[in-house]
A and B are shown apart, each in its own frame.
Chain A
Amino acid sequence: MTQNFGSKRTVVGAHYGLRDWLAQRITAVLMAIFTVALVVQVLLPGPMGYARWSGIFGHQWMKMLTFVTIIALLYHVWVGMRDVIMDYVKPVGIKLVLQVGVIVWLVGCAGWAIQVLWRL
């Protein structure tokens, strides 16, 4: 068996990157569903105001969909920003700081958004 651990770990080849490639697509589809659901509800006839706006996010099914969207967005943005950082930042130290920064930032933003959602 080839050694595939530590410094000899294979980082190119089959299945590598497949998970994130697929995750981008799946999270995109989930967010598209949310977008359609939101746009349809916003475009329904009648004036828009706080009552209607908060009413949209008051339904439990919409809260669930929004929550799924927030988590999907978290992963989608992470893969996207990680790719951007990987392409343009070569020094490993700076790359690590930026990537950790992005994750921490995104997790914080997700928490904030979830807090907003479940206040209702």
Chain B
Amino acid sequence: MSETTTKQRPGTMRLIDAVGQSMPPAAWVSILHRFSGIIMFLLLPFIIWVFDRSLESDLGYQYIADVFAGGIGPVRGWFFKLVALALIWSYLHHFIAGVRHLWMDATHSVSKEFGRVSALVTLGLSIVLTLALGYKLFF
């Protein structure tokens, strides 16, 4: 081995490091795929709770509708809608990025161009659908 000075390797990229770099769209899709998965994992009890109460009875269903309208105690209804919106985006991004993975697996589309275009489509489509569903949710 020659006596060259080797740059210190940066190690594993942490989530916080990701946002500091200039990343191509495919890199954003990838880290957001992970991030959206984590968000859904953390909000899983919320999802099951809504599932539980809404299916319990007519009163339970109404209760959930009221939670999103009027809130619970000091926590306002719009906060719950924001949480739902975060879930909507997370699911949409995760789903579309996942389909992108499946497409790459099935068709062996591994060119840089495909990576770039499909990444932009993923980001665009998930944001557009989130905005559309968010509009329905809030207005």
Could you tell me which A residues sit within 8 Å of B by CB distance?
25, 28-29, 32, 35, 49-51, 53-54, 57, 77, 80-81, 84, 87-88, 109, 112-113, 116, 119-120
Contacts of B10-56 to chain A: CB distance below 8 A? 12, 14, 34, 37-38, 40-41, 44-45, 48, 51-52, 54-56
- The residues of B that contact A54 with a CB separation of less than 8 Å are 55, 61
Please tell me if the beta carbons of B12 and A88 are within 8 angstroms of each other in the complex: yes
Q: How far is the CA of A119 from the CA of B56 in the complex (A)?
A: 8
Please tell me if the beta carbons of A80 and B41 are within 8 angstroms of each other in the complex: yes
Please tell me if the beta carbons of B58 and A50 are within 8 angstroms of each other in the complex: yes
> Dominant SS at the B interface?
helix
Total contacting residues, chain B, CB less than 8 A:
26
15 contacts between A and B (CB under 8 A): A25-B102, A25-B105, A29-B102, A50-B54, A50-B60, A51-B58, A77-B37, A80-B41, A87-B12, A88-B12, A109-B45, A113-B48, A116-B51, A116-B52, A119-B55
Task: Please tell me if B98 contacts chain A, counting CB pairs below 8 Å.
Answer: yes
Please tell me if the beta carbons of B37 and A80 are within 8 angstroms of each other in the complex: yes
Task: Please tell me if B57 contacts chain A, counting CB pairs below 8 Å.
Answer: yes
Please tell me if the beta carbons of A116 and B48 are within 8 angstroms of each other in the complex: yes
Q: How far is the CB of B10 from chain A (nearest CB, A)?
A: 14
Please tell me if the beta carbons of B95 and A35 are within 8 angstroms of each other in the complex: yes
Contact of B98 among A28, A77, A87, A116 (CB under 8 A): A28
10 closest A-B pairs by CB:
A50-B61, A50-B58, A116-B52, A80-B37, A113-B48, A28-B98, A112-B48, A109-B44, A54-B55, A116-B51
- The residues of B that contact A32 with a CB separation of less than 8 Å are 95, 99
- The residues of B that contact A119 with a CB separation of less than 8 Å are 55-56
Q: How far is the CB of A110 from chain B (nearest CB, A)?
A: 9
Given the known A-B contacts A35-B95, A88-B12, are A53 and B54 also in contact in the complex, defined by CB atoms under 8 Å?
A: yes
